[in-house]
Amino acid sequence: MKHPPRRTRRLLVTAGAVGALTLGTLAALPTTAAMAAPGCSVSYTTNSWSGGFTASVTITNVGDPINGWTLGFRFPDGGQRLAQGWSATWSQSGSEVTARSLGWNGSLATRASTTVGFNGTFTGANPAPTSFTLNGTVCTGSTTPTTPPPTTTPPPTTPPPTTPPPGGQTPVAINGQLRVCGVNLCNQYGRPIQLRGMSTHGIQWFGNCYNDASLDALATDWRADLFRIAMYVQEDGYETDPAGFTNRVNALVEEATERGMYAMIDFHTLTPGDPMHNLERAKTFFAAVSARHASKNNVIYEITNEPNGVSWSTIKSYAEQVIPVIRANDPDAVVIVGTRAWSSLGVSEGANHTEIVNNPVNASNIMYAFHFYAASHRDNYRAEVERAAARLPLFVTEFGTVDYTGDGAADLASSTQWLDLLDRLKIGYANWTFSDKAEGSAALRPGTCNGSNYTGTSVLTTSGAFMRERIRTPDNFPTS
């Protein structure tokens, strides 16, 4: 079974803060040794457009350290509705909105902050909330903790914030070196982000599709964050000319780098499904490419595409032998590990994500791949991703808008459900494929790669036009 990559659609946000407020903290309540003094401040800012808005909420704990929090507030206008949120579990009842912490951001030391956000809709006015609570305490005054803040700063779990690059507008200029934090992919500021982009087809067959004009279009017309380079190992691929294919991959990484996109190097194993069949090839290949690109901050390594017909323990063993090869040259890069049953988290072979949770890869800074094809993989697959995303860092390294063969009509309804889910969970993705193959999953019309024009919608298929619309909406990467 084959799964092409998918892409999510973002709501259009116009510049300009509609509302901003900073609320103090509650005066200290009488406490005992068993009761921590509460205290909080909240900064709420919005950007809006016709009928919709996005909100960023920064919570600062100025009371005692807390482990797990619930933020509450009320929309002042009856027409305001929560649409989708991130970095917390969001819910709305009437005009009351609640955000509950996730595992990775639930602990807040004294004076520590975390930022969450959501997209919303409104009819009528869109005033900012005027009162917030944190764990039931109204954030309206100031308080003194019952225990002093630590005299030494604990090691950060995410990189400390740095000064945003002046005028940096490309995805890499803004986000810099990525790392895994909790279940999210985070940027150089330690903030969860979602990368959206396209995958090549096999570079042995469609190499003419990847040239200056097409990659310029992907970076500037599509505004893609990510370029996935699919290097088949079998199927007339790497095994036929290791040096030649390594050089081709390196050249495409350089092209993505020049345009400020992240480059995902995909060791595209498919048949046979046992990654151990290509273990030595993988070690040789990843030793070469990680040495070449070790100084870059935009390279992501996908070490096995779609394992199938093998156990999770076999995939895990493979990963734990290949990852050290990459780490020897490039200790900071994010590595993505394929999952059982064509990277379906095992669902397509009757399993689920718990086998990974119970026996994770013994390595840091890694994510797990999930693939789907929207016309074939529907609610049960989406439900599994929802469950898995609460416990595992996921990246949809490949998905398609069509059926599992990579062909057929684009199922835009299911694709929209998928991409809305990925947007809400801030899961990155790459759509299959940025090519002109005569099949439903291809973004470009047949024959496009024989010409020189790749911009606009006239050269796009139904799938391509849908994906371009989803990908080119603003990223709004957080930088503080």
pLDDT digits (tens, 9 = 90+) for 77-131: 878 988 776 667 889 999 999 999 887 678 888 888 887 777 778 888 888 887 8
Q: HSE on the CB side for 188, CA within 13 Å?
A: 13
Residue 62's pLDDT is 83
Residue 105's pLDDT is 75
At residue 161, does pLDDT exceed 60?
no
In tens, the pLDDT along 49-80 reads 667 777 878 888 888 889 999 999 999 887 89
Read off the pLDDT band of 247 (50, 70, 90). Answer: very high
Q: Residue 81, SS3?
A: strand
CA separation for the pair 98, 72 (Å, rounded): 5
At residue 24, does pLDDT exceed 90?
no
Supply 94's token pair.
Answer: 């009437």
Predicted TM-score (pTM) of the model is 0.68
E-assigned strand segments in 421-465? 429-432
- Return the bridge partners of 54, or none: 47, 119
At residue 6, does pLDDT exceed 80?
no
In tens, the pLDDT along 267-280 reads 999 999 999 999 99
- In the predicted model, what is the mean pLDDT of residues 15-19? 31
CA separation for the pair 115, 161 (Å, rounded): 13
C-beta pairs of 385-389 under 8 Å, 24+ apart in sequence: 385/345, 385/421, 385/425, 385/427, 386/421, 386/425, 387/352, 387/353, 388/345, 388/352, 388/353, 388/356, 389/183, 389/425, 389/427
Residue 61's pLDDT is 85
Supply 321's token pair.
Answer: 């032998």
- In the predicted model, what is the mean pLDDT of residues 401-422? 96
In tens, the pLDDT along 317-344 reads 999 999 999 999 999 999 999 999 999 9
Percentage with pLDDT > 70 across the chain: 84
- In the predicted model, what is the mean pLDDT of residues 19-44? 46
Percentage with pLDDT > 90 across the chain: 67
CA separation for the pair 255, 265 (Å, rounded): 13
At residue 27, does pLDDT exceed 80?
no
- In the predicted model, what is the mean pLDDT of residues 391-408? 96
* In contact, 95 and 75? CB cutoff 8 Å: yes
Judge whether 306 counts as a catalytic residue. Answer: yes
Read off the pLDDT band of 423 (50, 70, 90). Answer: very high
- Return the bridge partners of 336, or none: 302, 367
Indicate which residue of 306, 355, 384, 439 is catalytic: 306
**49 contacts: CB under 8 Å, gap ≥ 6:** 11, 12, 13, 14
CA separation for the pair 64, 72 (Å, rounded): 19
Measured over all CA atoms, what is the biggest interatomic distance in the chain, rounded to whole angstroms?
76
Indicate which residue of 255, 302, 384, 398 is catalytic: 398
Residue-range domains of the chain with CATH? 17-138 (2.60.40.290), 171-471 (3.20.20.80)
How many CB atoms neighbour CB 480 within 10 A?
A: 12
Read off the pLDDT band of 47 (50, 70, 90). Answer: low
- Average model confidence (pLDDT) across the chain: 85
- In the predicted model, what is the mean pLDDT of residues 19-28? 32
**359 contacts: CB under 8 Å, gap ≥ 6:** 312, 313, 316
Judge whether 349 counts as a catalytic residue. Answer: no
**356 contacts: CB under 8 Å, gap ≥ 6:** 312, 339, 345, 368, 388, 392
* In contact, 146 and 152? CB cutoff 8 Å: no
At residue 142, does pLDDT exceed 50?
no
The distance of Cα 298 from the centroid of its chain, to the nearest Å, equals 14
At residue 40, does pLDDT exceed 70?
yes
Residue 149's pLDDT is 35
Residue 261's pLDDT is 97
Read off the pLDDT band of 144 (50, 70, 90). Answer: very low
CA separation for the pair 262, 260 (Å, rounded): 7
CA separation for the pair 149, 63 (Å, rounded): 9
Residue 474's pLDDT is 93
In tens, the pLDDT along 377-393 reads 999 999 999 999 999 99
Residue 102's pLDDT is 80
Residue 1's pLDDT is 45
Structure-model confidence comparison of residues 187 and 118, the more confident one? 187
Residue 86's pLDDT is 67
- In the predicted model, what is the mean pLDDT of residues 25-38? 35
